[in-house]
Amino acid sequence: MSDHPPIEVYAEIDSTNAEARRRAEAGESGPVWITANRQTAGRGRRGRAWSTETGNLAATLLTTTDVAPAEAAQMSFVAALAACDLADIFLGPEAARLKWPNDVLIHGRKAVGILVESGARDDGRLWLAIGIGVNIAHAPTDTERPATSFAEHIAGAPPKPADAIEVLASRFEAWFKIWMTQGFGPILEGWTRRAHGLGERCEARLPSRTLSGIAEGMDTDGALRLRLDDGSVQRITAGDVFFGGA
């Protein structure tokens, strides 16, 4: 018996997150992983395009929860830890690091993007579409920050998407069970242990302004603590954070 929800594979689709949304709005509750060998209209955070070429992995978990939206947002950190595990399993321990809020970096360059979307159901519960895009065989070149792929760090052939999703789904299930039974504490601890840039200077680009300071860590609600030059601490709840070239 599988230790994760069922996995469905499409040869090509517009977007796995879009498919999850369509199913959720039609009443489907999951859980089910929706994957595609190629996306024609993949999306990342803040409406950015996300390219999925053949050999890469595009996967979205459609599921339903009873928790409040603010708490459900913690699932993005669960997904980040699962994707970090995926990279470490195929590339070796400590190959991957996590940059707030949920980018997975391999040797300083982005290899995984995560997009969590949600909506209210008629029964009062919340549907979640937890999208994870992994650059396995290819990395885009026209990106805002440096990107990489698993293939660039493996001597032989990179894993096949079908093998990668099995590992990713299993690791997500393991972290999800920890979150469900023990709360956000172990997730925060796991994220902090693998965090990129803590104690370093960074730039936080927010919708209305840009702030610079030292990244001190993540609060229990997922916000990043940024120590500004005047000594005050600014909590960053949404935005893009840049550390040097990453």
The helix, strand and coil proportions of the chain, stated in percent and rounded to the nearest 5, come to 30, 35, 40
Q: In CATH, what number does 7-193 get?
A: 3.30.930.10
pLDDT digits (tens, 9 = 90+) for 37-78: 888 876 654 445 455 677 899 999 999 999 998 899 999 999
pLDDT of the residue at 20: 96
* Strand spans (E) along the chain: 7-10, 32-36, 57-65, 96-99, 103-106, 109-120, 126-134, 201-205, 210-218, 224-228, 233-236, 240-242
Domain boundaries, the chain: 7-193, 201-242
Q: In CATH, what number does 201-242 get?
A: 2.30.30.100
pLDDT of the residue at 199: 85
Q: Stretch 137-166: mean pLDDT, rounded?
A: 87
For the chain, what is the largest distance between any 2 Cα atoms, rounded to a whole number of angstroms? Answer: 56
- Cβ proximity of 35 and 12 under 8 Å: no
Provide the percentage of residues in the chain whose pLDDT is more than 70. 92
CA dihedral sign of residues 17, 19, 25, 28: negative
Judge whether residue 2 has pLDDT over 80.
Answer: no
Fold match between domain 7-193 and domain 201-242:
no
Judge whether residue 246 has pLDDT over 70.
Answer: no
pLDDT of the residue at 108: 86
Question: Cα-atom radius of gyration of the chain, to the nearest Å?
Answer: 17
What's the one-letter identity of residue 246?
Answer: A
Provide the percentage of residues in the chain whose pLDDT is more than 90. 61
